[in-house]
Amino acid sequence: MDTDVTLSNRPAGAQDDAVRAEQPYISRLYERLDLLRERTAARLAELYKQRGGTHQAVWDREAFVARDVERLERLGTVDRGLCFGRLDFDGRATSYIGRIGLSDDDYETMLVDWRAPAAEPFYRATAAAPGDLVRRRHIQTRRREVLAVDDEVFDQDALPAGSAGTLRGEAALLASLTANRTGRMSDIVATIQAEQDRIIRSPLAGVLVVQGGPGTGKTVAALHRAAYLLYTHRDRLSEKGVLVVGPNRTFLHYIDQVLPSLGETGVVLSTVGQLVPGVEPTGAEPDETAVVKGDPRMAEVIATAVRDRQRVPREEQVLRVDRTELVLDAATCRSARTKARRSRRPHNAARRVFVRTLLDELAEQHARRLGEVIDEEDLAELRGELQSEPDVAAVMDELWPSLTPQQLVADLFADPKRLAAAARRLDPAERELLARDDAAWTPADVPLLDEAAEALGPVDDPDAAARAEREREEAEVRYAQELLDQLDLDVPVDPALVAERYRGSPTHRSVVDRASADREWSYGHVIVDEAQELSPMAWRMVMRRAPGRSMTVVGDIAQTGAAAGARSWGQVLEPFVPGRWRQETLTVNYRTPTEVMDAAAGALRAIDPDLVPPESVRSTGRSPAAVRVEPDGLTGAVVELATEEADAVASGRVAVIVPAARLNELHAAIAADVPATVSRVENPEALDATVTVLTVGQVKGLEFDSVLVVEPAEMLRESSHGATDLYVALTRPTQRLGLAHTGDLPDMLQGAAVERR
Ligand SMILES: Nc1ncnc2c1ncn2[C@@H]1O[C@H](COP(=O)(O)OP(=O)(O)OP(=O)(O)O)[C@@H](O)[C@H]1O
């Protein structure tokens, strides 16, 4: 593939003419955008001032407010690169392609949304199949000025005299690929490639797997797919929302600007560990424990643990009530339990059946003892009284306790007897790994808590409704305030007034707010990134969020780092959608230059000799550099190299990827010397720093201008999937790769880098 494509091969003068010729139209588009913003803001300010009216009038007004708020948000995010393309068709028709669609006051289209069917030729037309397209033009702008145009001509004869040229569409792509990284992923609307476009516009229904090597644009294509689906199926998806699941918070921070820059905000971004509201997994544990927790047998363990909490007493229970004694025998309890289980409700809801059955029995017994004949009304009253008797309440809690998921799982892992009873299919060594006292929840616990939440259902709590109402009101006030902050209206609007308007009209609380607070939310579409890392139990949890099974599953089996992760897509998906998933493969590496991919080839072969690396779209002419140092000089050398790299990338970003055991020491040393280094990569601001020190587990999905890999041999030894770790680390740079090592380089890296000193 070409390595040095110029902006165009048209003479400089002709290029300037073309740039000048485009400017007036681009300026008109921005004028139109400004006008629409002004009009929408003014209408919104007017709507905010209005109050009262019939119920219908209020409702209609709220709908207009919601529509205009959304419109204003969208118009506010599309300034950068508003228009990036132009299509000239046979017969002289021309369309401009941009981030959003714009029309003039006569409804004439001025700009076609990149997701509209009319924009497809911009991404799909080829020289072999141009349709009636004669020229595709990429337009590069900075702020509101046209910087360059880059043409592909499909039919020289059809163009007006003097405007022909054999131009290619790679200039804009290469300009974007070689630009310094900023720590945040950018959108690629202007340069989506044909194989990515196929994925982005693939139909909504069913499960689509996107397999591809490092840097093939899986993440970025999946995010553009979310924007495309929201645009094309807005009716269906705007109320249900789209969920994007990523590997960690830093990664989510890295990608969180992409959808807003495409004008889409109805998307929830979450890690697997954040999918159960109210649980913050801050603990860590050995790989072997995570593997057991992720094993599909754990579903049965949780189900059994729940059933084991529904007990029948061995002996008669004697309860003191009102100076009399009531008796519950085992047979009565057993039949109440059978009845409750047959209700097929979750544990906490079925508890009501169990309790009611036993209270009926106790109430009748009590009435008999008193020698009274009582009617149904008295019986109901008596049941209520009995329920609050301490002895009765205690026995109910003993036999069928109300349980939260946290209580169930904590009790299970804290008690070897409980665990042995529930986890018969695990062997003793596996059970031992699960034993836990008061440690914090780990990411692998979250799918277990979710499984438990499904089996238990919500706890019956008389205060819950009031609490939920209070929380809802508070959230609405917060939402209204945020909204006003974002809208930045010229006209002053009282936030309290807006808050009051929102109160009681839950339809206007954003889907993102409602969905992220609700464990049982059913999303219209779910995207799972770095999907190879999910355990079978995590898949069960994610699948619950996508009951319609409309999903995009994105990943690379060769990069599986989690011990409980996937070995093949079939193994992952067949249990949920047997024979009903489709796969697309991406083959071109946009991130990593050829020289770096060559260096990573040995690591890929070590993972699996049959795996084929993606083809790099460019080369830099710069070989990776290795530096061998004495063991006691490693820290000093790493600091020196990190400083050099920070200078080399200027305003770009450097990653120093280190073995986990060296993270603290090396970070401290680099932080003392190189300003703006961040160690806790979990901290979302980590990527704002020039130099980031991280382990291979933290670097998944990210990219940097320059990457320094420290002690690769140690990385290999540190984990059972060391070759994969090394492959991931080596494939992060967009420009420069360096290695710092003390002993010999591992065999798989021999000859991969030029030894510097
Ligand atoms: N069509 C494109 N135009 C411009 N840049 C692109 C294009 N496709 C991919 N890129 C860029 O290539 C880089 C890699 O993309 P991305 O992170 O989506 O790859 P990936 O396949 O998810 O990689 P990995 O598996 O290593 O995480 C990003 O900087 C992305 O913006």
Helix or strand (DSSP H, E) at 679 = none
Q: How many domains does the chain have?
A: 4
Residue 676 neighbours by CB under 8 Å, 6+ apart? 688, 689, 690, 691
Measured from the CB, is residue 560 less than 6 Å from ligand 1? no
Tokens of 378: 């008295």
Is the minimum distance from the CB of 200 to ligand 1 under 6 angstroms?
no
β-bridge pairing 83-89 and 551-555: unpaired
- 22 shares its domain with 170: yes
Q: Are 716 and 730 in contact (CB under 8 A)?
A: no
Claim to verify: residue 703 and residue 720 sit in the same structural domain: yes
The larger pLDDT score, comparing residue 168 to residue 698, is at: 698
- pLDDT single digits (tens) 195-232: 899 999 999 999 999 999 999 999 999 999 999 999 99
Of 537, 558, 586, the residue at which a domain comes to its end is: 586
pLDDT for res 33? 96
In a domain, 6, yes or no: no
Cα 254 to ligand 1 centroid, rounded to whole Å: 12
Q: Which residue in 319, 458, 314, 337 sits closest to 387, CA to CA?
A: 319
Is the confidence at residue 757, as pLDDT, over 80? no
Q: How confident is the model at residue 282 (pLDDT cuts 50, 70, 90)?
A: confident
In terms of DSSP H, where are the helices of 50-169? 55-76, 120-124
Q: Is 220 in the pocket of ligand 1 (CB under 6 A)?
A: yes
Is the Cβ–Cβ distance between 707 and 721 less than 8 Å? no
3-state helix vs strand vs coil in the chain, percent to 5: 50, 15, 35
**Beta-bridge mates of residue 42:** none
Is residue 506 assigned to a domain? yes
Helices first, then strands: H and E counts in the chain: 30, 23
Q: What is the CA radius of gyration of the chain?
A: 31
Residue 604 scores a pLDDT above 80: yes
Range in 258-262, 327-331, 447-451, 528-532 with the lowest mean pLDDT: 258-262
Q: What is the pLDDT of residue 466?
A: 65
Which pLDDT tens digit goes with each residue over 550-587? 999 999 988 777 777 788 899 999 999 999 999 999 99
Tell me what the mean pLDDT of segment 44-48 comes to.
Answer: 85
* pLDDT for residue 245: 97
* Model pLDDT, residue 261: 83
Q: Which amino acid residue places its CA nearest to atom 9 of ligand 1?
A: 217
Among candidate residues 33, 27, 31, 261, the one with its CA nearest the CA of residue 146: 27
Q: 195, 215, 245: which is the final residue of a domain?
A: 195
> Same domain, yes or no, for 191 and 203?
no
**Is the domain of 640 the same as that of 744?**
yes
| CATH number (domain holding residue 548) | 3.40.50.300
Indicate the annotated binding residues for ATP.
212-219
3-state secondary structure of 81: coil
- Residue 634: what pLDDT? 94
- Assess whether 299 and 431 both reside in one domain: yes
Residue 85 CB less than 6 A away from ligand 1: no
Report the distance separating Cα 656 and Cα 105, nearest Å.
54
| CA-closest candidate to residue 75, choices 32, 46, 110 | 32
State the pLDDT confidence band at 497, using cuts at 50, 70 and 90.
Answer: low
Considering the domain architecture, whether residues 507 and 552 belong to the same structural domain is answered as yes
Best residue among 591, 696, 699, 730 to mutate for probing ligand 1, ranked by most atoms within 8 Å of CB: 591
Q: Is the CB of 193 under 6 A from ligand 1?
A: yes
**Is the model's pLDDT at 536 over the cut of 50?**
yes
Q: Are residues 642 and 705 in the same domain?
A: yes
Q: How far is the CA of 717 from the centre of ligand 1 (A)?
A: 29
Is the per-residue pLDDT at 9 higher than 60?
no
Residues 48-78 have pLDDT tens digits of 887 777 777 777 787 788 888 888 888 888 8
Ligand 1 pocket check for 248: Cβ under 6 Å: no
Instruction: Render pLDDT for 616-635 as a digit per residue (tens, 0 to 9).
Output: 988 988 999 999 999 899 99
Confidence check: pLDDT of 608 > 90: no
Residue type, 233: H
Per-residue pLDDT reduced to its tens digit, 297-330: 999 999 999 999 999 998 888 888 878 888 999 9
Tell which of 586, 610, 632 closes a domain. 586
Same structural domain, 627 and 700: yes
- Residue 222 CA to ligand 1 centre (angstroms): 10
pLDDT band at 498 (very low <50, low <70, confident <90, very high): low
Q: Average pLDDT of 139-161?
A: 79
Tell me if 188 CB under 6 Å of ligand 1. Answer: yes
* Segments forming the whole domain that contains residue 745: 594-755
According to the model, what pLDDT value does residue 592 have?
Answer: 93
Tokens at 32, concatenated: 């139109």
pLDDT number for residue 1? 34
* Residue 176 in contact with ligand 1 by CB distance below 6 A: yes
pLDDT digit string (tens) for 457-475?
998 766 665 666 666 666 6
Ligand 1 centroid – CA 218 distance (Å): 6
CA dihedral 701, 705, 171, 125 (to 10 degrees): -10
Please determine, for residue 152, whether its predicted confidence score (pLDDT) is greater than 90. no
Asked whether residue 61 falls in the same domain as residue 156, the answer is yes
- Domain assignment of residue 1, yes or no: no
Q: pLDDT of 433-458, one tens digit each? A: 998 766 799 999 999 999 999 999 99
Given a contact cutoff of 8 angstroms between Cβ atoms, the answer to whether 80 and 262 are in contact is: no
Predicted complex ipTM:
0.98
Cα 301 to ligand 1 centre (Å): 40
Residue 678 has a pLDDT of 65
Q: How far is the CA of 102 from the centre of ligand 1 (A)?
A: 28
Residue 427 C-beta-side C-alpha neighbours within 13 Å: 1
Task: Strands of 260-335 (E only): list them.
Answer: 267-271, 317-321, 324-328
For 180, phi then psi, to 5°, come to -60, 145
> Residue 144 — pLDDT band, cuts 50, 70, 90?
very high
Beta-bridge partner residues of 738: 625, 708
Burial 573-585 (b: 16+ CB within 10 A, else e): beebeeeebeebe
Tokens standing for residue 612: 């084929």
pLDDT tens column, 168-194: 456 777 777 777 777 788 888 888 888
What is the whole-number distance in angstroms between the Cα of residue 59 and the centre of ligand 1? 44
Q: Following DSSP, what letter does each residue of 109-138 receive, concatenated?
A: EEEEETTSGGGHHHHH--SS--TTEEEEEE
Residue 304 lies in a domain: yes
Pocket test for ligand 1, best of 5, 209, 219, 731 (most atoms within 8 A of CB): 219
Q: Which ligand 1 atom is the nearest neighbour of the CA of 214?
A: 26
Are residues 363 and 339 located together in one domain of the fold? yes
What pTM, to 2 d.p., does this model score? 0.85
Mean pLDDT, range 117-131, rounded to an integer: 86
Query: Residues 686, 691, 696, 699: what is their CA dihedral angle, to the nearest 10 degrees?
Result: 50
pLDDT averaged over every residue in the chain: 86
Instruction: State whether the beta carbon of 141 lies less than 6 angstroms from ligand 1.
Output: no
Does a structural domain hold residue 459? no
Please indicate, yes or no, if residue 605 is contained in any of the structural domains.
yes
User: Using CA atoms, how far apart are residues 447 and 464, in angstroms rounded to an integer?
Assistant: 24
Q: Report yes or no on 5 lying in a domain.
A: no
Assigned domain for 240 exists:
yes
In the structure, what pLDDT confidence band is assigned to residue 341 with cuts at 50, 70 and 90?
very high
The model's pLDDT over 649-673, given as tens digits with 9 standing for 90+, comes to 888 899 999 998 999 899 889 888 8
My answer on whether 212 and 171 are in the same domain is: no
- Our mutation pick for probing the ligand 1 site, out of 138, 173, 174, 188, counting the most ligand atoms within 8 A of Cβ, is 188
- Comparing 101-105, 139-143, 370-374, 428-432, which segment has the lowest mean pLDDT? 370-374
**Do 518 and 665 fall within a single domain?**
no
Residue 482 confidence (pLDDT)? 67
pLDDT of residue 163: 45
